[in-house]
Amino acid sequence: MDFRKDSRSIRLRTRLIFYSTIILLLVMALVIILVEKRQSETIHEEARKRGITIAGHLAAVSTNALLTYNYIVLKQNAERVVLEKDVLYVIIHDKEDKVAAYSQHDEKQGMILTDEVSQKATRARAPLIQPILYGEKEVRVLDISIPVYIKESQEKWGTIRIGLSLEGMSSQILKTRLNLLFLGGFAIALGILGSIFFARRITQPISNLVGTTIAAAKGDLDQVIDIHTGDEIEELGKNFNHMIQQIRLHQTELENRLREITSLKAYTDNVLSSMTNGLITIDLEEKIVTLNEMAERILGKRSGKIVGLPLERVLSEDHPLYRMMIETLSREEGVFRSEMELKKDEGSLWLTVGTSLLTDGKGKKLGALVLFQDITGIKALEEKLRQADRLAALGTLSAGLAHEVKNPLSAIKTFVQLLPRKLENPSFMEKFNSTVPREIDRINQLVEDLLELTRRRVHPFVALDVNYLILQVIDLHGEEMEKKQIRFEDHLDRTIPPVEGNSETLYRAFSNLAINAIQAMPEGGSLIISSKHDSPSSGLQIIFRDTGVGMDEETSKNLFNPFFTTKDRGVGLGMALTHKIIEDHRGTIEVMSEKGAGTTFVLMLPVIKS
Amino acid sequence: MEHLSKRILVVDDDQGILDSFEVLLGDRYNLVMTDNGYEALRIIETKPPRLVFLDIKMPGLDGMDVLKKLRKDQKQVEVVIITATQRDEIEREAKSLGAIDFLTKPLNIVEVERIASQILS
């Protein structure tokens, strides 16, 4: 905005001077007119009074002369009176209206004057004043006539006329007018000067105020108005100063806020561009609001200005990211996919993608946000790791297998190598017959176990009594347990429902658990086996608990891995197989163990729904 | 001493291996057998043999632990390692601990007989 004085506007000072001058002129004109009129009237009145007085006086001294027609006295009286100031003529008419005396006009004595003024004067029964123009010069004159009566009679004895010149009076009036005009002009000049002075005094602070406001409006807020007029203008100045101060405060605050916002924006931009995740936000019209550098890089979109374009145009209608965003907007909740494959020319791009609804602080929907991470590298690494794991597992398996096979193999080899030499030795042959088939069976069992471990479930499932199987296992190992002073504690619930399973494999699983317990108690102890079924919805719980040596954490953690071996012990395939059998039965098996305190296996098997 | 000089201790947790040694050497030497390390140390302490065939992988005290203990106690006994897993570092360690030989399973009976006769002759 352009802040300056409007050139078309008339300045306040000019206006003040103009109006005050007009008022002054009007007042002065009115004063002059009134004074002049009043003075003229006074002068006229004075003239009339003087005229009447002179005429009256002349009448008084001329009454006897009129009664007696003494024209000489009348003539003397007239000539004496005409000497009076401003008296131009004196005419004395006798009873018959003839001229008895006429100052300086003796020739008119005895004549009857026929002019209209004389006629009116002689006919008048009361004093009469007639303004006339007298003589060739047409001097303004008051013709004052007074009829002369005797006291006791109503009869008129004559008329006294004097012509009183108004020239003196006129010049006096003129002089008065000139004086008035001069005085008036002086007063007006003085008034104009005064009004200019006062207008300056009034408008100077206003001018300052205006100048300051213009400077302030142009942005210079370091303005302070210093006016001490003690009136509204000073108050205005103070208020303005206060206002400027407030504006300055607000401006500083705004500048600070702006700086904060700018730095916050820069910070946010830095965060966005430094992010290792791709981020895209869209508004409710599906137009892109944010798309950070990583998003550009991951999506391979580098076509300059993307912000503001509809997402559909930047990606495509069937792009999974686009579909997730639209789903988020319509369902008003985020979508997460831990792995998403994007087919690209140079191979697949794997992303972890999460979307969320973008809302303001009050929960109003603003748009949607998608955050994604390129996990292609991680996927490749995972694949490598899986391969390494497979190889490691294979290594463990091979080593375990080698160990397990080599012992019986060694025994068989020894017996076979000795056979030719000791064929005739009956005790050797006896030992041969018991050992070699046993060792061959061990190898065979190992192969069978290995096959079983990798085989998909093929055994038919039937309804089984778990308690019965467990008791059979205990019966089989009874002799060994007795030898090792291991006591069996029967906590089997005889009311449990049957489970669906394969008796052969389940028997092996239970047997393996029993063997594990027996091996864990070389110094004797207790094997406590319980079974229970708490509620129709839950499975059947079977617990094998021993009071043996227990296992450390690493062993119990790896117990179900085939051929897992620690310094303390090696497990063959038994526990791995047990785990597999229970899983085949859609059950679970967990192990809890503490070194020196024994081991507990908790099995859950689904029951047959009645 | 004559009696002791023929004594061989076999330590292995596998019954098949123990049976093999019995038929191979039992008729010529005084064989003592056990399936664990603790028992082995006890036997070496009470009835010291001239030769010990020692398995590495056993529950509880394994072969390497037994060997270390013998070394520590400065027992004058010849130890031959018998193991199913041939690993160079195990062999090196066993030999550094004083084992005179390192046999891998399946065992060669000729070698076993040779070692026994060498030590006990």
Token pair for residue A189? 């000049």
Which has the closest alpha carbon to A402: A353, A358, A450?
A: A450
CA distance B98 to B119: 15
- Minimal Cα distance from B26: which residue of A? A428
Domain count, chain A: 5
- Minimal C-alpha gap between A386 and chain B (Å): 26
Token pair for residue A409? 């193999």
SS3 A601: strand
- Minimal C-alpha gap between B120 and chain A (Å): 21
CA distance A153 to A157: 10
| CB within 8 Å: B84 and A414 | no
CATH number of the domain bearing residue B83: 3.40.50.2300
SS3 A197: helix
**Average pLDDT of every residue of chain A:** 87
Residue A224 has pLDDT above 70, yes or no: yes
CA distance A52 to B59: 172
Same domain for A158 and A22: yes
Q: Which residues lie closer than 8 Å to B28 by C-beta, 6 or more apart?
A: B116
Give the model's confidence band at A309: pLDDT under 50 very low, under 70 low, under 90 confident, else very high.
confident
Q: What is the pLDDT of residue A47?
A: 84
Q: Does B107 touch chain A (CB under 8 A)?
A: yes
Residue of B20, B23, B85 lying closest to A402 (CB–CB): B85
CA distance A176 to A178: 5
Q: Is residue A10 part of a domain?
A: no
Q: pLDDT of A66-110, one tens digit each?
A: 888 888 898 998 899 889 888 889 999 988 889 999 988 889 888
Same domain for A299 and A254: no
Q: pLDDT of A549-573, one tens digit each?
A: 888 888 888 888 887 765 555 567 8
The DSSP bridge pattern shows strands B78-83 and B51-55 to be parallel
User: 8-47 in B: which are within 8 Å (CB) of A?
Assistant: 14, 16-17, 19-20, 22-24
Which has the closest alpha carbon to A514: A466, A480, A485?
A: A480
| CB within 8 Å: B23 and A428 | yes
**Cβ neighbour number for residue A386 with a 10 Å cutoff:** 10
- C-alpha pair distances (Å), A306 with each of A85, A139, A244, A310, A324: 116, 109, 44, 9, 19
The DSSP bridge pattern shows strands A336-344 and A347-359 to be antiparallel
| CB within 8 Å: A410 and B59 | no
Percent of chain B with pLDDT over 70: 96
Q: pLDDT of A448-483, one tens digit each?
A: 888 888 877 777 889 999 999 999 999 999 999 999
Which has the closest alpha carbon to A199: A392, A420, A20, A327?
A: A20
Residue B5 has pLDDT above 70, yes or no: no
Residue of A403, A414, A435 lying closest to B57 (CB–CB): A403
Token pair for residue B7? 């004594």
Of the listed ranges A27-31, A89-93, A281-285, A400-404, the least confidently predicted one is: A400-404
Q: State the count of interchain CB pairs (< 8 A) between A and B.
A: 68
- Minimal C-alpha gap between A579 and chain B (Å): 22
Same domain for A284 and A170: no
Q: What is the pLDDT of residue A298?
A: 83
Task: Decide if A336 contacts A353 (C-beta within 8 A).
Answer: yes
Token pair for residue A391? 């190889």
Task: Decide if A542 contacts A531 (C-beta within 8 A).
Answer: yes
Q: Which residues of A touch B17 (CB under 8 A)?
A: 407, 410-411
**Structural domain boundaries enclosing B86:** 2-120
**Cβ neighbour number for residue A479 with a 10 Å cutoff:** 9
Q: Which residues of A touch B19 (CB under 8 A)?
A: 411, 431, 435
| CB within 8 Å: B22 and A565 | no
Residue of A411, A568, A569 lying closest to B17 (CB–CB): A411
| CB within 8 Å: B84 and A422 | no
List the helix and strand counts (H, then E) for chain B.
Answer: 6, 5
Q: pLDDT of B52-99, one tens digit each?
A: 999 988 877 889 999 999 999 888 899 999 988 777 888 999 999 999
- Minimal C-alpha gap between A411 and chain B (Å): 5
Residue A11 has pLDDT above 80, yes or no: no
Q: Does B62 touch chain A (CB under 8 A)?
A: yes
Q: What is the pLDDT of residue B1?
A: 41
Q: Does B59 touch chain A (CB under 8 A)?
A: yes
More confident residue, B55 or B121: B55
Q: What is the pLDDT of residue A233?
A: 80
| CB within 8 Å: A414 and B24 | yes
Interface of A with B (CB under 8 A): 399, 402-403, 406-415, 417-418, 422, 428, 431-432, 435, 438-439, 442, 519, 565, 567-570
Domain count, chain B: 1
Give the model's confidence band at A302: pLDDT under 50 very low, under 70 low, under 90 confident, else very high.
low
Task: Decide if A458 contacts A502 (C-beta within 8 A).
Answer: no
Q: Which residues of B touch A423 (CB under 8 A)?
A: none
Q: What is the pLDDT of residue A304?
A: 65
Helical H runs in A69-160?
A: 71-81, 116-123
Q: Which residues of B touch A399 (CB under 8 A)?
A: 85
Q: pLDDT of A111-128, one tens digit each?
A: 888 889 899 999 888 889
Q: Which residues pair with A99 in a beta bridge?
A: A93
Which has the closest alpha carbon to A353: A299, A272, A287?
A: A299
Q: Per-residue pLDDT averaged across A285-295, rounded?
A: 89
Q: What is the pLDDT of residue A168?
A: 79
Q: Is residue A34 part of a domain?
A: yes
SS3 A10: coil
| CB within 8 Å: B85 and A403 | yes
Q: Which residues of A touch B16 (CB under 8 A)?
A: 407-408, 410-412, 435, 438-439, 442
Q: What is the pLDDT of residue A230?
A: 82
Q: What is the pLDDT of residue B81?
A: 94
Give the model's confidence band at B3: pLDDT under 50 very low, under 70 low, under 90 confident, else very high.
very low
Same domain for A531 and A410: no
Q: Which residues of A touch B59 (CB under 8 A)?
A: 519, 568-570
Residue A363 Cα to chain centre, angstroms: 17
Kindly tell me the burial class for residue A57, based on how many C-beta atoms sit within 10 Å of its own C-beta (0-12, 13-18, 19 or more). Answer: middle
| CB within 8 Å: A414 and B23 | yes
- Minimal C-alpha gap between A487 and chain B (Å): 23
Q: Which residues of A touch B62 (CB under 8 A)?
A: 567
Q: Is residue A256 part of a domain?
A: yes
Total count of residues recorded for chain B: 121
Same domain for A348 and A318: yes
**Best to test chain A binding among B61, B83, B105 (most A CBs inside 10 Å):** B105
Query: What is the complex's ipTM, to 2 decimals?
Result: 0.92
Sheet with A278-283, side-by-side order of all strands:
A288-291, A278-283, A365-374, A347-359, A336-344
- Minimal C-alpha gap between B3 and chain A (Å): 24
SS3 B19: helix
**Best to test chain B binding among A407, A419, A429, A432 (most B CBs inside 10 Å):** A407
Q: What is the pLDDT of residue A455?
A: 79
Q: pLDDT of A134-172, one tens digit each?
A: 888 888 888 999 998 887 778 888 999 999 888 877 788
Element at A331 (helix H, strand E): helix A320-331
| CB within 8 Å: A411 and B19 | yes
Residue B10 has pLDDT above 50, yes or no: yes
| CB within 8 Å: A403 and B84 | yes
Residue type, A24: L
**Structural domain boundaries enclosing A407:** 381-445
Total count of residues recorded for chain A: 610
| CB within 8 Å: B16 and A402 | no
Q: Which residues lie closer than 8 Å to A409 by C-beta, 6 or more apart?
A: A439, A443, B105, B106
Token pair for residue A241? 């100063």
CATH number of the domain bearing residue A305: 3.30.450.20
Residue A58 Cα to chain centre, angstroms: 107
| CB within 8 Å: A414 and B57 | no
Q: pLDDT of A401-418, one tens digit each?
A: 888 889 999 999 999 999
Element at A530 (helix H, strand E): strand A525-532
| CB within 8 Å: A418 and B24 | yes
CATH number of the domain bearing residue A534: 3.30.565.10
| CB within 8 Å: A406 and B16 | no
Q: Does B60 touch chain A (CB under 8 A)?
A: yes
CA distance A585 to A459: 11
Q: Is residue A488 part of a domain?
A: yes
Residue A131 has pLDDT above 50, yes or no: yes
Same domain for A586 and A465: yes
Same domain for A588 and A479: yes
Q: What is the pLDDT of residue A135?
A: 83
Long-range contacts, stretch A481-488, CB < 8 angstroms, 24+ apart: A481/A518, A481/A527, A484/A518, A484/A521, A484/A522, A484/A524, A485/A523, A485/A524, A485/A525, A486/A517, A486/A518, A486/A521, A486/A524, A486/A525, A486/A526, A486/A527, A487/A524, A487/A525, A487/A526, A487/A527, A488/A526, A488/A527, A488/A529
